[in-house]
Structure 1
């Protein structure tokens, strides 16, 4: 047996009780105000300390579980049927359930809102989980159950292990859990998490690595299925595109391009979240006509020009499952899922309507005004989708475009994965 290092902390295989005792001592010191999370060598790991600070700000009671309001049976079934994760449950089960059974743990799969959709594994451990309210339909976000692998992974956007007294709420101190987020390879959208949980005594330092690897396998399966669907659409769209006079694109429902006529093929087109057949204004091509295809859409580029330019932008950075920008005008609206860096950039521009220079944006994002090349490259990528609503010299939203910035209800939840100085300052109000 040997000590293992995880996320910057040493965990003892030889004496799990000693590890639990050390974590409990840190937990009590932080709650008693004798230690600030993350400020001393005896403090909790950074991901845990950040979560504890969120719990203290939000008023989560470490001595009392918040009452669960589980999903109804009908709603649970609806979410299961709608979830793309249903298709990769066999992979998750094949890879994780043998290890879960051997280690006296259970496998849990949640949606992006932290709701438990599926729970499988050891019957005795399931009964233990029942006493915590950790059952199908339960809400396992930080706001409800405090620091835990599922809820904290959803906020941090990366795999997280929470062991024993690293849980903020004391009733969970006899528990250990490791969770990894799962994303849709088509658009990067957060789909949920996969988690292994069980009694703290069943802790093993390789659990987090196992869960992380299996999550990547599941995402790989989703990616393979997407590629197959693109090939089917490409085969059916090719004869149609060959007969079209003029410019056109064939795309799947997420906007991934499978064929073009008269155009340089892009990788993807920004479509509305709920596209409908008919006239449509697209930021890259102007007025278009949208026609349904089996498994996708035909976009005919060009049409009668009118006052179709965008007039309103909604930048939504209020959720934990990603950020979006929605552009609206006389011809309708469309939404685009933002990368974390592009969400930071647009947030800064929305907060500074007068505009920012490349050097100012470099300081806002990196704390280093010399990183202008990186800023210009990111803005160039962003303008592929938003050229019509972004202006430069200085960089800003275009004149005449109304901008609405939707923020989270609590400032400390703003873009939780971001380390940009401008975002950190905004979290402080």
Structure 2
């Protein structure tokens, strides 16, 4: 099933562009448009209106410099050129790779289309997120996480109405988030409605190849690491994907806390310590003393909480404040677990704040490891609660 819709039908493209111009003009004047924009376009326009942007103003695609992983999208360039490169024989097609921030890292096309793109700073270093240049295929694909075709006056800014652009995010299987975006752009009067299907297909194929490469990386990690053999342990890469395990029924991926200092809870291992190995981490149960398994200690105060994680040489202390402290304290008071709606009602005062609750729990677990379990939400069994309220 496709996760995108076709922007226009070739037989009526010219009249359709005229309708799009009328929709855009009426929509931003606050008048009743002759038709409604497509949902993906409407949602983007609403996001930008809330930011106070004006479609008449000329946007500035501010230049940016590639930094480390920001340019990682360039690693897929050989695959992209192999699949789409032949299309570049047409002088009106521009092929672009942008990173996960929306900054253009590479482009290719004929002289005429490159000159036209230069007028909009649509070149390496140009920043094409929605906030920078309004509704556009690169920025909107990153905002929605899906392939998008933005045609003619569907672009937010008037200066972009002469373009038709289709883009699809490339998902990094290690981090499960966009590595960057593939974009095909052309003049609106020479656009192909199936461009979005093409970039979506290429992005999917790249995802398959990246996933296979990651599988091989995990195999190399397992083969190259000297593991303990007996006992309970887990070997993971830097993103928490399990390469090998012994004595524990592990999921495909565990959540690693930021920094990896001290101990942290791991499903199946309890409170674990991490030993750095080439390409990943060797995780084993932490112990305070011989025969005694380590525990995390959660101290609950009036307005904040402290989580103490014992390490091999010292105990690290993590402080939680605000909503996160309130969530953890409420879970400590309800050890059997609660639903997301119950947590939202308790912490935010309204049961519909489920998304906010889930986001805060995700941040807690990203920082500390799997401190909070789900279905229902509850504290890890490795935590001992000390109530000082």
TM-score (norm 2): 0.76
Measured in 1, the distance between the counterparts of 2:307 and 2:123 equals: 41
Query: Is 1:102 equivalent to 2:90 in the alignment?
Result: yes
**Compared with structure 1, are the counterparts of its residues 355 and 66 closer, same or farther at alpha carbon in structure 2 (3 Å cutoff)?**
closer
**Of 159, 162, 168, which aligns to 2:150?**
162
Cα-to-partner distance string for 1:53-90 (whole Å, 9 max, x where unaligned): 1222212111112333201xxx32x34x6543222111
Query: Is 1:87 equivalent to 2:84 in the alignment?
Result: no
**Compared with structure 1, are the counterparts of its residues 203 and 346 closer, same or farther at alpha carbon in structure 2 (3 Å cutoff)?**
farther
**Compared with structure 1, are the counterparts of its residues 207 and 170 closer, same or farther at alpha carbon in structure 2 (3 Å cutoff)?**
same
Instruction: Give the 5 Å matches for 1:81-230.
Output: 83-102=71-90, 104-230=92-218
Measured in 2, the distance between the counterparts of 1:6 and 1:229 equals: 30
Give the deviation of 1:395 after TM superposition.
Answer: 5.0
CA contact (8 A) 1:159 1:181 kept: yes
Aligned alpha-carbon RMSD (Å): 3.7
Q: In structure 2, what is the equivalent of residue 269 of structure 1?
A: 254
Q: In structure 2, what is the equivalent of residue 257 of structure 1?
A: 242
Instruction: Give the 5 Å matches for 1:21-420.
Output: 21-35=18-32, 42-71=35-64, 75-76=65-66, 78-79=67-68, 83-102=71-90, 104-237=92-225, 240-241=226-227, 243-275=228-260, 279-284=262-267, 285-304=269-288, 308-309=296-297, 329-331=308-310, 351-353=344-346, 388-389=371-372, 395=377
Measured in 2, the distance between the counterparts of 1:94 and 1:298 equals: 38
Give the deviation of 1:229 after TM superposition.
Answer: 0.6
Which ranges of structure 2 fall in alignment gaps of 5 or more residues? 301-305, 311-315, 319-337, 356-364
**Compared with structure 1, are the counterparts of its residues 23 and 354 closer, same or farther at alpha carbon in structure 2 (3 Å cutoff)?**
closer
CA contact (8 A) 1:55 1:142 kept: yes
Give the deviation of 1:293 after TM superposition.
Answer: 2.0
Measured in 2, the distance between the counterparts of 1:308 and 1:18 equals: 66
**Compared with structure 1, are the counterparts of its residues 349 and 175 closer, same or farther at alpha carbon in structure 2 (3 Å cutoff)?**
farther
**Compared with structure 1, are the counterparts of its residues 161 and 310 closer, same or farther at alpha carbon in structure 2 (3 Å cutoff)?**
farther
**Compared with structure 1, are the counterparts of its residues 174 and 391 closer, same or farther at alpha carbon in structure 2 (3 Å cutoff)?**
closer
Measured in 1, the distance between the counterparts of 2:270 and 2:379 equals: 18
Give the deviation of 1:292 after TM superposition.
Answer: 2.1
Instruction: Give the 5 Å matches for 1:6-21.
Output: 11-21=8-18
Deviates more, 1:292-301 or 1:279-288: 279-288
Give the deviation of 1:48 after TM superposition.
Answer: 0.7
Which ranges of structure 1 fall in alignment gaps of 5 or more residues? 313-326, 335-344, 366-381, 403-429
Deviates more, 1:92-101 or 1:47-56: 92-101
CA contact (8 A) 1:103 1:202 kept: no
Measured in 1, the distance between the counterparts of 2:113 and 2:146 equals: 25
Local SS of the residue matching 1:266 = coil
Larger Rg: 2
CA contact (8 A) 1:310 1:389 kept: no
**Compared with structure 1, are the counterparts of its residues 159 and 9 closer, same or farther at alpha carbon in structure 2 (3 Å cutoff)?**
closer
**Compared with structure 1, are the counterparts of its residues 191 and 348 closer, same or farther at alpha carbon in structure 2 (3 Å cutoff)?**
farther
Local SS of the residue matching 1:271 = coil
Work out the number of aligned pairs and report it. 340
Local SS of the residue matching 2:346 = coil
Measured in 2, the distance between the counterparts of 1:10 and 1:112 equals: 24
Give the deviation of 1:157 after TM superposition.
Answer: 1.4
Give the deviation of 1:352 after TM superposition.
Answer: 2.9
CA contact (8 A) 2:62 2:132 kept: no
TM-score (norm 1): 0.69
